[in-house]
Amino acid sequence: MADLQYKIIVGLEIHVQLRTKSKMFCSCALEFGAEPNSRVCPVCLGMPGSLPVMNKQAFEYSVLAGLALNCNIPMFTKWDRKSYYYPDLPKNYQISQYDLPLSEKGFIEIPLESGETKRIRIIRAHLEEDAGKNVHSASSYSQVDLNRTGTPLLEIVTEPDMNSGAEVRALAVELQRLVRFIGVSEADMQKGHMRFEPNINMKIIRNGKEYRTPIAEVKNLNSFRALERSVTYEAQRQLSEFLETGIEFGMGNKTTRGWDDEKEMTVLQREKEEAHDYRYFPDPDLVPVELTQEWLDEIKSRLCELPLKKQLRYVQEYNLSDYDAGVLTADRATADFFDEVVNAGGDPKRVCNLLTQTGLKITKEKNCNITDLPVTPKGMADLAKMVDEGTISASSATTIFEAMVQTGKQPDVLASELNLVQKSDAGELESIVDQVIAENSEAVADVISGGKKEKKARGFLMGQVMQKSKGQANPKVVSEILAKKLK
Amino acid sequence: MEELTAKQLRDKIASGQIKSLDAVNDVFSRIEKYEPVIGAYISTFKEQAIEQAEQVDKKVSAGEPLGQLAGVPIAVKDNMCTTFGATTCASKILENFHAPYNATAVEKLIAADAVIIGKTNLDEFAMGSSTENSGLKKTVNPWDTTRVPGGSSGGATASVAARMCSAALGSDTGGSIRQPASFCGVVGLKPTYGRVSRYGLVAYGSSLDQIGPVTQTVEDAALMLNVIAGHDSSDSTSVNETIAPTYDYLEKLNEPVEKLKIAVAPQLNAGADQQVQNTLHEAINIYKNLGAEIIEVKMPHLDYAIAAYYIIATAEASSNLARYDGVHYGHRTQNPKDYVEVYSKSRAEAFGQEVKRRIMLGTYALSSGYYDAYYLKALKVRNLIRSDFTKAFEKCDCVMMPVAPTTAFKIGEKTSDPLQMYLSDIYTIAANLAGIPGISIPCGFDDKDLPIGLQILSPAFTEDKLLRIAKMYEKENNWYDKRPNI
């Protein structure tokens, strides 16, 4: 048996659709699922004489994403035409960026299962316009829908720094969270807002000699699952192909493959990388973009603490679970709200519980952000404090939270209105406890004897006290009194 | 009525002395008479023009405010989009193309109450110097119908020369306004790149294309520029007025430029026909007599202008014309076997020879492995030509040179030799590469009674001064009074 070691090497190209209102170079609305060819104009149709005008918002979003990906942002960037003929491309060239992209040389940290993070280098991120869609019918012709034509896309290219399907998936998921967090994309997979193209090959060491398998590019993946599985599948396929044929990486033997979701395998699309010549040249219809320091600073000011960093901070500083920290940092609104509540004096753990168990349930039902609810960070912090101070019980907090959402009232007001303020007055509670002790000699005996039944009996007595106080006794105070009396 | 310039006609219409309807009817009766010989128009819009004229006349009688071109019959080169009629670019591939919008320049004409009477012939997609490359019809020179009108705006210049309109809009990528203006004995102005919106001008060489007026007089050119100049948010390359303001170009037109300094580049002019050189010399003498100082400059890189131009323009054209593919609009081949054949056959069937040649040239120049040697080098030459002008303009107000090396040549004379044809643009191309304005004004006739033009070039965004300089000459001569005998 030969000594065999191998490692999978993956780089990713990701297309992220920006969440601008209008297209990249015209004012047509970006709308998913509209009647075919209803969101078009002379510019995105590439009609004779029409001219593109850059969408400033798309550019700013891209710079923001570049900054979030720790990229260099050059002060000068330009537009190039990439030429190829295809029916979904009305001008038969795509406006893109070639040698001077708007951002380059960055990195993104991705979370690993071990709890550690890994740095994946970003080669570049540039802005371009999307093509339309060819709709193939069973008959002898195809139809073209140009609604998508001209949609702003951010193309992000990573170095081949990933070494497993899981890492590739982690990057994709982290990138989704990142672009949503900074507000530049809805990143809705169902709507094709993120599309992935992994470039995969294997490094194989056999008997001390190193080999590389030919690169395969898997085109147009639009789910995390397909992305991960295609990478895992390719690793296996390339390994067995190498063992069978011994073919190594070489010029011109890159293949293009597609992912068959039903068969769960990649299928060959193009045998050899065709000698593409896109004849890039600067688009004379668009002026280069020259950033000023003020403009760049203004865009920079929109940056925030990024989600992964925030998540790690919540775990370390607040002792939250990794899962809860992940939930709180899934979107910017929730994370910002959480931070504000903590700043207003709410105990992080308590606030986390209220938010994840109640708040996010409500926002999910209402399909809105936490900030859309009539609950202020201050109100939320007060609610958390009331629990911590024993003014209300943890379960009452949920009730009060729900009432806050409905009425917009402050938690202390609602606590009294709903009669949920706990009795913590030791004197008043002591007389109830005395009464309960007097009425339940058997349970009292079980507690004092300290046998198997002690725990159950103590619970029973607690329950009796709560019942007599109509649920308003502070359980902490009650258990202290009980403990004192039944020593 | 054909004796009137656009400005005179507008004033007479505004004062009620002439009805726009009469002016339009007069123009159409001339079109009926001369168009069968000249062939300037691809389409005319008589009914619409009469309606527009009547509306202007109503405005006049109601005392409503009038646009600067109120009631004046204007023609538009058929590479500018109009919602009325077809926009063909004189190409079979767009023969039946109806644009859903007006070019900004056309919109501005309409807003100025101009009456658009028709769309004029051109070399297919504005590629040519004689209008012989039109895929749709033949235009001849009104001064000698065996000769070409020049090109590519040959239809526009022929129609102004034959007074089948008061003025026209042309477009100039390498001389396409100035050279045919010179051949037809009319005024042709190519404004600074970015002065007039290109929105709706069907692109040939996007970094060179510019719309400009073709007129009877310098004053009319100023009037037309008043209407069409200015920033357009739909054209990113149109220049913002805070950077380069537009002027009322008529306002100081009659004031001569004081201490005028004119540069000539003798080594360049030596290539022109002797009669053209003599005429240029006489024109410059007139300026000298008006007190101008003449200096000599060297513009060493202008020798490379044609080479650089035919790489840059064709490279851009190869990309700009990729959209005419038979898929979305325009000519589509019958019974293609697959989508690739939709492209290849539709294009092979409908593009003319010269267009194909330039698409091939441009595709080659942009191909990987050749890009640096051709396109990139051409851009460097372009920068050197720009700096030749910058250096020259440090010492003078304008540069004067011939418009073309010869007067109008015979139909068919150069069609078999594209390189000879390309050389007719030798004096005009540099202005497009440098982005500066240039004007061609009539400055005499050769022994065959064919018009000769004087070309004046000035720094970017100094059209006001350029027009004043041109006007100084025009006041001393009445060349524009001489009419072709059709």
Q: Is residue A372 part of a domain?
A: yes
pLDDT exceeds cutoff 90 at A395: no
Q: Kindly report the CATH number assigned to the domain that includes residue B248.
A: 3.90.1300.10
Which residues of chain B does A288 touch, with a Cβ-Cβ cutoff of 8 Å? Answer: none
pLDDT at A274: 61
Quick check: A273 pLDDT over 60?
no
Residues of B in contact with A85 (CB under 8 A): 322, 325, 340, 343
Q: Who among A46, A52, A87 is closest to B339 (CB)? A: A87
B237 touches chain A (CB under 8 A): yes
Give all strands (DSSP E) within B340-437, no chain letters: 398-402
Whether A84 and chain B come into contact, CB under 8 Å, resolves to no
Domain boundary among A391, A417, A443: A417
Whether residue A299 is contained in a domain is answered as no
Mean pLDDT calculated for residue range A147-154: 97
Residue A79 CB burial class (10 angstroms; 0-12, 13-18, ≥19): buried
Residues of A in contact with B322 (CB under 8 A): 83, 85, 91-93
Peptide bond into B152 cis (omega under 30): yes
Nearest CA in chain A to B339: A87
What mean pLDDT is predicted for residues A28-33? 90
The amino acid present at B185, given as its one-letter code, is G
**C-beta atoms of B328 and A277 within 8 A:** no
**pLDDT tens-digit readout, A64-122:** 999 999 999 999 999 999 999 999 999 999 999 999 999 999 999 999 988 899 999 99
Give yes or no: residues A464 and A376 share one domain.
no
Residue A212 pairs in a beta bridge with A203
Q: How would DSSP label each residue in A240-274?
A: HHHHHH-----TT--EEEEEETTTTEEEEEESS--
Identify the pLDDT of residue A272.
Answer: 64
The answer to whether position B420 is within a domain reads no
Mean local confidence (pLDDT), A210-223: 94
Residue B438 lies in a domain: yes
Residue A370 lies in a domain: yes
Q: Is the pLDDT of residue B396 over 90?
A: yes
Among residues of chain B, what percentage have pLDDT more than 90? 93
Mean pLDDT, range B286-296, rounded to an integer:
97
Catalytic (active site) residue B176: yes
Domain coverage including residue B142: 6-260+401-411+427-481
Q: How far is CA B303 from the centre of its chain?
A: 23
Q: Any CB–CB contact under 8 A between A49 and chain B?
A: yes
User: Is residue B322 assigned to a domain?
Assistant: no
Burial of residue B433 (CB within 10 Å: 0-12, 13-18, 19+) is buried
Q: Give the contacts of A194 (CB within 8 A, at least 6 positions apart).
A: A14, A15, A16, A17, A172, A175, A176, A185, A187, A222
**Do A9 and A64 have their domain in common?**
yes
Which chain A residue lies closest to B337 (C-alpha atoms)? A140
The two three-digit tokens of residue A20, written as one number: 């601008």
In this predicted structure, what is the pLDDT of residue A2? Answer: 63
Tokens of A154: 């951010």
Question: How many whole angstroms separate alpha carbon A40 and alpha carbon A36?
Answer: 9
Residue environment code for B80-91, b if the CB has 16+ CB neighbours within 10 A, otherwise e: bbbeebbbbbbb
Alpha helix locations (H) across B241-338? 266-269, 274-289, 305-320
B363 interface with A at CB cutoff 8 Å: yes
Number of domains chain B is built from = 1
User: Which residue of chain B has the CA closest to A276?
Assistant: B368
Chain A with chain B: Cβ pairs closer than 8 A: 98
Torsion from C-alpha of A35, A37, A40, A43, nearest 10 degrees: 170
Distances (CA, A) of B373 to B318, B377, B380: 17, 6, 11
- Distance, CA of B176 to CA of B173 (rounded, Å): 6
**Same-domain status, A79 and A192:** yes
Q: What is the pLDDT of residue A471?
A: 74
Tell the residue number behind the tokens 């749709």, with chain if given.
Answer: B136
Question: What CATH number does residue A445 fall under?
Answer: 1.10.10.410
Q: How confident is the model at residue A417 (pLDDT cuts 50, 70, 90)?
A: confident
Residue of A nearest to B364 (CA): A279
Last residue of a domain, one of A397, A417, A437: A417
Asked whether B75 and B38 are in contact (CB, 8 A), the reply is: no
Residue B326 has pLDDT above 70, yes or no: yes
B424-471 pLDDT tens trace: 899 999 999 999 999 999 999 999 999 999 999 999 999 999 999 999
Q: How many domains does chain A have?
A: 3
pLDDT in tens, B269-289: 888 999 999 999 999 999 999
pLDDT of residue B266: 85
Residue A297 lies in a domain: no
Mean pLDDT is lowest, of A412-426, B64-78, B115-129, B176-190, for A412-426
User: What does residue B120 show for φ and ψ, rounded to 5 degrees?
Assistant: -100, 155
In a domain, A298, yes or no: no
- Residue A428: the pLDDT is 77
Residue B134 is a catalytic residue = no
Annotated catalytic residue, options B77, B119, B190, B471: B77
CB contact under 8 A, A87 and B366: no
> Are B190 and B221 contacting, i.e. CB atoms less than 8 angstroms apart?
no
> A87 to chain B: which residues are within 8 Å by CB?
327, 339, 342
Average of per-residue pLDDT across A274-301: 93
Same domain flag for A142 and A231: yes
Do residues A432 and A412 share a domain? Answer: no
Residues of B in Cβ contact (< 8 Å) with A93: 319, 322
Q: b vs e for B244-275, b when ≥16 Cβ sit within 10 Å of the residue's Cβ?
A: bebbebbebbeeebeebebbbbeebbeebeeb
**Average model confidence (pLDDT) across chain A:** 91
Nearest CA in chain B to A280: B366
Nearest Cα residue to A214 out of A198, A231, A229, A202: A202
Judged against a pLDDT cut of 60, whether residue A348 lies above it is answered with yes
Domain interval for residue A187: 4-290
Q: Catalytic residue, from B152, B166, B238, B458: name it.
A: B152
Q: Helix or strand or coil: residue B481?
A: helix
Q: How confident is the model at residue A275 (pLDDT cuts 50, 70, 90)?
A: low
B207: in domain: yes
Residue B61 bears catalytic tag: no
Contacts of A81 in chain B (CB under 8 A): 319
Residue B6 near residue B53 (C-beta atoms within 8 A): no
Residue A295 maps to a domain: no
